[in-house]
């Protein structure tokens, strides 16, 4: 059917039941997101320029550290294609749904709640083959359709890079503040500079840079070993005018704790990793509280 005027076409479209229903659903979702975010004091977005720098390990240990300090904390895994938070946090069962059809996060201890796409899948090895709109929709559901309750902190673990997921987080949670994770070598620092540029472009405040897998002492001879050089994170932070949150030493206990589903800051509080990580957490919380 052809319409006599643009106004007539608009009026006809405005009366379409399916479009009206879609608009109502979208408005309802936006209201749910706004209500959920209003109950969360601080949102920390952990990102990295490239994979393999231990971003998810930092996210898991950051959330666990905050919970250990007595803060009500949420951990949201939006790495939809390579979710690892569920394994790191020992989540083996599917998440439950409340009577009002809201997703119930996995409760770990008294102060920590966790949501991951992996905890919604019957087959843990199934590949998620989604494009942009589906990813955005899932991230919005992780905010508005999850019963987070009142939180002091929400830690958001995103996939590496500056693609759909980070952009969706920025659009959905505009008040989130970034923690950027890197390793000390130049190949990682080149990519982390892109993450810094991303934050500046979308006007996201950056809390600082964490240097992961830094120098450590050999357990046999006490010689300091630099697997990926050292100091790259602090130099980049200084050059970019950002706060350096601290250097975390390489520690094989992190691998073991991740496989066992217990963050190393909980499993071994006196390890070199845990002691260095405490400084990082203190440098983050001092900026927010």
Q: Please give the pLDDT value at position 15.
A: 59
Question: In which band, very low, low, confident or very high, does the pLDDT at 108 lie, cut at 50, 70 and 90?
Answer: very high
**Spans of all domains in the chain:** 20-288
Q: What is the pLDDT of residues 253-275, one digit of tens each?
A: 888 898 899 999 999 999 889 99
Q: What is the pLDDT of residues 57-86, one digit of tens each?
A: 999 999 999 999 999 999 999 988 878 999
Q: Please give the pLDDT value at position 50.
A: 83
Percent over 70 (pLDDT), the chain: 93
Question: In which band, very low, low, confident or very high, does the pLDDT at 277 lie, cut at 50, 70 and 90?
Answer: very high
144 in a labelled binding site: no
241 in a labelled binding site: no
Question: In which band, very low, low, confident or very high, does the pLDDT at 3 lie, cut at 50, 70 and 90?
Answer: very low
18 in a labelled binding site: no
The rounded distance, in Å, linking the Cα atoms of 278 and 55 is: 16
Q: Is the entire prediction scored with pTM above 0.95?
A: no
Question: Which has the higher per-residue pLDDT, 156 or 13?
Answer: 156
53 in a labelled binding site: yes
Q: Please give the pLDDT value at position 52.
A: 85
Q: Please give the pLDDT value at position 19.
A: 74
55 in a labelled binding site: yes
Q: Please give the pLDDT value at position 1.
A: 43
pLDDT, mean of residues 13-26: 72
The fold of the 20-288 domain, in CATH, is Rossmann fold (3.40.50)
pLDDT, mean of residues 134-151: 91
Query: For the chain, what is the HEC assignment?
Result: CCCCCHHHHHHHHHCCHHHHHHHHHHHHHHHHHHHHHCCEEEEEEEEECCCCCCHHHHHHHHHHHHHHCCCCEEEEECCCCCCCHHHHCCCCCCCEECCCCCEECEEECCCEEEEEHHHHCCCCCCCCCCCHHHHHHHHHHHHHCECCCCEEEEEEECCCCCCHHHHHHHHHCCCCEEEEEECCCHHHHHHHHHHHHHHHHCCCCEEEEEEEEECEECCCCCCEECECECCHHHHHHHHHCCCEEEEEECCHHHHHHHHHCCCHHHHCCCCHHHHHHHHHHHHHHHHHC
51 in a labelled binding site: yes
pLDDT, mean of residues 31-45: 96
Q: Are residues 112 and 75 in contact, defined by beta-carbon separation less than 8 angstroms?
A: yes
57 in a labelled binding site: no
109 in a labelled binding site: no
The rounded distance, in Å, linking the Cα atoms of 176 and 104 is: 22
Structure tokens at 157: 């673990």
> Above 60 in pLDDT, residue 170?
yes
pLDDT, mean of residues 39-58: 93
Percent over 90 (pLDDT), the chain: 55
């Amino acid at each position: 059917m052809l319409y006599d005027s643009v106004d007539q076409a608009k009026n006809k479209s405005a009366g379409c039941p399916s479009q009206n229903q879609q608009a109502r659903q979208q408005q309802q979702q936006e209201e749910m997101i706004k209500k959920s975010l209003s109950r969360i004091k601080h949102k920390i977005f952990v990102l990295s320029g490239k994979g393999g720098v231990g971003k998810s390990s930092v996210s898991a240990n950051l959330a666990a550290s905050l919970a250990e300090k007595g803060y009500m904390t949420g951990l949201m895994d939006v790495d939809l294609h390579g979710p690892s938070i569920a394994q790191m946090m020992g989540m083996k069962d599917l998440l439950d749904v409340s009577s009002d059809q809201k997703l119930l996060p996995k409760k770990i201890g008294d102060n920590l709640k966790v949501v991951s796409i992996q905890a919604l899948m019957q087959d843990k090895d199934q590949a998620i083959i989604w494009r942009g709109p589906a990813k955005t929709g899932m991230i919005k559901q992780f905010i508005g359709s999850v019963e987070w309750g009142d939180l002091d902190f929400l830690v958001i673990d995103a996939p590496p890079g500056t693609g759909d997921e980070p952009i969706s987080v920025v659009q959905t949670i505009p008040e989130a503040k970034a923690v950027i994770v890197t390793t000390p070598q130049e190949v990682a620092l080149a990519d982390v500079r892109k993450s810094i540029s991303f934050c500046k472009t979308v006007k996201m405040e950056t809390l600082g840079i964490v240097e992961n897998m830094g120098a450590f002492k050999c357990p046999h001879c006490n010689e300091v070993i630099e697997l990926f050089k050292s100091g790259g994170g602090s130099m980049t932070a200084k050059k970019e005018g950002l706060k350096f949150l601290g250097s975390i030493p390489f520690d094989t206990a992190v691998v073991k704790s991740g496989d066992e589903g217990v963050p190393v800051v909980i499993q071994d509080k006196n390890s070199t990793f845990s002691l260095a990580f405490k400084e990082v957490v203190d440098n983050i919380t001092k900026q927010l509280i």
